[in-house]
Structure 1
Amino acid sequence: MTESLCCLAFDALYLKLVGDQADSEISLSYFDHWLGIKEKLPKSAPLFVTYNINDQLRGCIGTFSPLEIESGVKEFSLNAALNDPRFPPIGHADLNEKLDVHVTLLDEFEHIRQWDNWTVGEHGLKVSMTVPSRRHRLSGTFLPSVAEEQEWDKVTTLWYLLKKAGYETVSKQQTVDFYTRGIGEGWLQLVRYRGKKASYNFEPYMEFREDYEE
């Protein structure tokens, strides 16, 4: 997956936080040329943008609805950096070599009928469910890289996935039975999917922008 999308995400954030009228927006095709990228991207895809500072999560927001790639990356770059309610917004002082961005394009969505019919490091997961004690349908997702990076096994991943969806009443020991019953009775849906991920650091992006503006 092309690193150009990561540079595009950084460019949107840079222009939002510190850009002025003298700073021009850099196109995706220009980043492709600079990086020597020849990979052809889909015109649209579901996508997520993730920011890390010192290898710690600082924002992650995306969509499961297909978006035009270039405009979608720009939109969710700002959403992930500035609007993730779990974290303070990324600011001007955070734009340094400690900041990384990851762009993940999603595809191959499949409903699965067995709780363990997926592979750690290969599949992302999305759970959605209706439970009597909640007025609204609950949902949560982990991107394909999360379980592997956290060194979780399948049961641990599914347990934390329930917590991310906002359902805290299931113990880890009850997790498999909970998913098995929910899938069997139809009030819980579990979807696996694949993702193509690229990562980039802010420092080399900024070096390129400084050369571009000269």
Structure 2
Amino acid sequence: MSSVKTYTAYAFETLYSKLHKTDPIPFSKLKLALENDSNVVTEKCPLFVTWNIKQGHDKVLRGCIGNFSDLTLPAGVREYALIAALEDPRFEPITLRELPKLSCSVTLLKNFEKGKDALDWELGKHGIRILINGKKSATFLPEVATEQGWTKEETLQHLVQKAGHYQTSWEEADIELTRYQGIKESLDYDTFMDLREKLQ
């Protein structure tokens, strides 16, 4: 088993080596360097990788994609680090020039539960995934609502729109809700490079 911090460093290393066209530092080497981290997880789980970029004093989203299937680790982290960075349809692919402004987060998902209704979840604790009319789905990770300052109702409305129902209110939508929790670690470029230099 390995820590979430190790997976986050591995996600950063995966993109760094891809953009620099070099061989990545092996996961086993990163794991040894960070083995004292206590936030240990199992070898298979759903996950999301998120890239943010500095704009002035703010951090803004630069890519976020994941998968709700149980993914083998660390291979799933490696795969989605690149998908989130280079294939998120909302953004242009991340470039080498942007790398020093980036921060990376890996969120490993757990404790999936069906909600009794659309409001059966807690702000700041749960991520939510909705299925509308049994067809279109969308999710927000656990931190999104609190970071945006949304109420539960506002969160649901944004999520309904994210699922493509722009003219539908959340109260009118036929929503099946699943709530879940996440274990998240973040790493900025400078911290990642400090770690990387120690391993060279």
CA shift for structure 1 position 9? 0.1
Using the alignment, how far apart are the partners of 2:41 and 2:118 within structure 1? 32
> What's the counterpart of residue 180 of structure 2?
193
In structure 2, what residue type is equivalent to 1:105?
L
User: Which structure 2 segments of 5+ residues have no match?
Assistant: none
Q: Structure 1 residues 168 and 32, CA, compared in 2 at 3 Å: closer, same or farther?
A: same
Counterparts of 2:45 and 2:117, CA distance in 1: 26
The structural deviation recorded for 1:195 is 0.7
Q: Which of residues 67, 73, 91 is equivalent to 1:69?
A: 73
Alpha-carbon spacing, 1:69–1:118, altered in 2? closer, same or farther (3 Å) = same
Verify: 1:208 aligned to 2:195, yes or no: yes
Structure 1: unaligned runs, 5 residues or longer: 132-136, 183-187
Structure 1 residue 19: deviation in Å? 2.9
Secondary structure of 1:128's match? Answer: strand
Task: Write out the 4+ residue segments of structure 1 that deviate beyond 6 Å after TM superposition.
Answer: none
Q: Is the 8 A contact 1:127 1:189 kept in 2?
A: yes
Post-superposition shift, 1:24? 4.4
Tell me, yes or no, if the aligned pair for 1:50 and 1:59 is still in contact at 8 Å: yes
Q: Percent identity?
A: 40
Structure number, greater radius of gyration = 1
Alpha-carbon distance in 2 for matches of 1:48, 1:203: 22
Tell me if 1:125 matches 2:124: no
- 1:89 aligned partner, one-letter code: P
Q: In the TM superposition, what are the counterparts of 1:107-146 in structure 2 within 5 Å? A: 107-130=110-133, 137-146=135-144
Shift of 1:211: 3.5
Amino acid across the alignment from 1:119: E
Aligned counterpart for 1:155 among listed residues 153, 156, 165: 153
Q: Is the 8 A contact 1:11 1:26 kept in 2?
A: no
Structure 1 residue 33 and structure 2 residue 32: aligned? yes
Give, in angstroms, the shift of residue 114 of structure 1: 2.0
In 1, Cα distance between equivalents of 2:160 and 2:182? 21
How many residues are paired up? 193
> 2:91: which partner in 1?
87
Whole-Å separation in 1 of the counterparts to 2:38 and 2:108: 17
Tell me the CA shift for residue 45 of structure 1.
Answer: 0.2
Structure having the higher strand fraction is: 2
RMSD (CA atoms): 1.6
Superposition TM-score, scaled by structure 2 size: 0.90
After TM superposition, the score normalised by the length of structure 1 is 0.84
